[in-house]
Amino acid sequence: MIGEALLHHLTTFGTLGPDDAAAVLAIDGEVRSYGRDCDIIRSGDRPTYSVLALDGLLIRYSPRADGGRQVYGMYFPTDAPCLETLHTDIMDHNLTPAVETRVALIPHAVLYETMDRFPRVLSLIWRQTLVQASMFRAWLMRNSSQPAHAAMAHLFCECLRRTQAAGLARGNVCDLPVTQEVLADALGISLVHVNRTLQILRQTGAVSFRSGVLEVHDPAQLAGIADFDPHYLHLHR
Amino acid sequence: MPHYFLDIRNGNGFTADLEGQDQAGLAEAVAAARTGARSLMAADLAEGHLDTSGSIDVCDSEHVLLVTVTFAEVLAAATLNHPPSPPTAR
């Protein structure tokens, strides 16, 4: 199950030969469940494993001085949000579930061995971490330059496109099990502003978000509002 | 923690808070309303207009109105809290 999920994730970004794929399929780890906001890894930790989401939703964040937090990314089932810990000694942010989530903890030693023996797996893991950096740039650009309704539309476009690539979406509908508070923390706006912004987007008829379900009624219109170009996701499907 | 709903009334009409939020108490909920009012006005200002006639209703978990925070009072408080200007050089 764990190897299958990791293979599914990595091949979102590129291709692997049969031997490489078999090696990834053989990767195993420990499955654990975490409740909402129970940090899996915290800033300052020195993890000896990487994390793979099996269900639910994970977020990366840092606490802010005002008691809030800045969310840097959202991670859907089969996403591997912290493969960079293979090469960084110490965590500089936190990884936590937005809802009850099962994850696989894959020992770094297992990943090192696979990467040593299969250079194409190494290359694809490297590529995946570079795509994470690309997504961070897109989030920074979105939050710093777009008005709230366009920024939220951009986030929704990204979530739909990624869940479609991962085979999780149902057409233009996907699960996005986050509270409005998480949206506020991701977009850097207040909760009140999120509420107002959701209403603005709902009134366009392009999208609705309710009870953790994102439904895009008009993908082209939403992409237009967001000025969304998915190339920064570097998806191969 | 108690649950509060923060409904918005401004030039765009009435926006009901469908989800609400947990806050430690009423003071924290009012603080969230004040922050929210400022963020809404900041977004308006960035687009070249400002509506100070709005307000945010802070309601309890039963959606009973507890406090109304007006945009104007939040702006006035910001002005009053502004530190005194240094003397102007002549």
Band (B4; pLDDT cuts 50, 70, 90) = very high
| CB nearest to A196's CB, from B8, B19, B32 | B8
Q: So what's the pLDDT on residue B78? A: 62
Q: Per the structure block, which two tokens stand in for B34?
A: 């004040």
Burial A20-43, CB ≥16 within 10 A → b, else e: bbebbeebebeeeebeeeeebbee
A181 touches chain B (CB under 8 A): yes
Q: What is the mean pLDDT of residues B33-58?
A: 93
The residues facing A209 across adjacent strands are A214
Closest chain B residue to A145, measured at CA: B46
ipTM of the prediction: 0.81
Interchain CB distance below 8 Å, A196 and B21: no
A150 touches chain B (CB under 8 A): no
Q: So what's the pLDDT on residue B89? A: 65
Residues A80-125: tens digit of each pLDDT: 999 999 999 899 999 999 999 999 999 999 999 999 999 999 999 9
Longest dimension (CA), chain A: 54
Q: Answer yes or no: is pLDDT of B34 > 80.
A: yes
Closest chain B residue to A192, measured at CA: B36
46-85 in chain B: CB under 8 A from chain A: 46-47, 56
Band (B47; pLDDT cuts 50, 70, 90) = confident
Q: So what's the pLDDT on residue A181? A: 94
Residue where the block lists tokens 């654990």? A32
Q: So what's the pLDDT on residue A6? A: 97
Band (B76; pLDDT cuts 50, 70, 90) = confident
| Share of chain A residues as helix, strand and coil, in percent rounded to the nearest 5 | 45, 20, 35
Work out the mean pLDDT of chain B and round it to a whole number.
Answer: 89
Interchain CB distance below 8 Å, B36 and A210: no
Q: Answer yes or no: is pLDDT of A191 > 80.
A: yes
Q: So what's the pLDDT on residue B10? A: 87
Q: How many angstroms from the chain centroid is the CA of residue A103?
A: 13
Burial class (CB in 10 A: 0-12, 13-18, 19+), A122: middle
pTM of the shown model? 0.91
How far does A168 lie from chain B, in Å, by closest CA?
25
Band (B85; pLDDT cuts 50, 70, 90) = confident
Using DSSP, how many helices (H) and how many strands (E) does chain A show? 8, 9
Q: From the CB of residue A176, how many other CB atoms can be counted at a distance below 10 Å?
A: 21
Residues A49-70: tens digit of each pLDDT: 999 999 999 999 999 998 889 9
Q: So what's the pLDDT on residue B90? A: 59
Band (B80; pLDDT cuts 50, 70, 90) = low
Band (B11; pLDDT cuts 50, 70, 90) = confident
How far does A193 lie from chain B, in Å, by closest CA?
6
Interchain CB distance below 8 Å, B19 and A199: no
A233 touches chain B (CB under 8 A): no
Work out the mean pLDDT of chain A and round it to a whole number.
Answer: 96
CB contacts of A196 in chain B (<8 Å) are 8, 12, 15, 40
A199 touches chain B (CB under 8 A): yes
Residues A199-229: tens digit of each pLDDT: 999 999 999 999 999 999 999 999 999 999 9
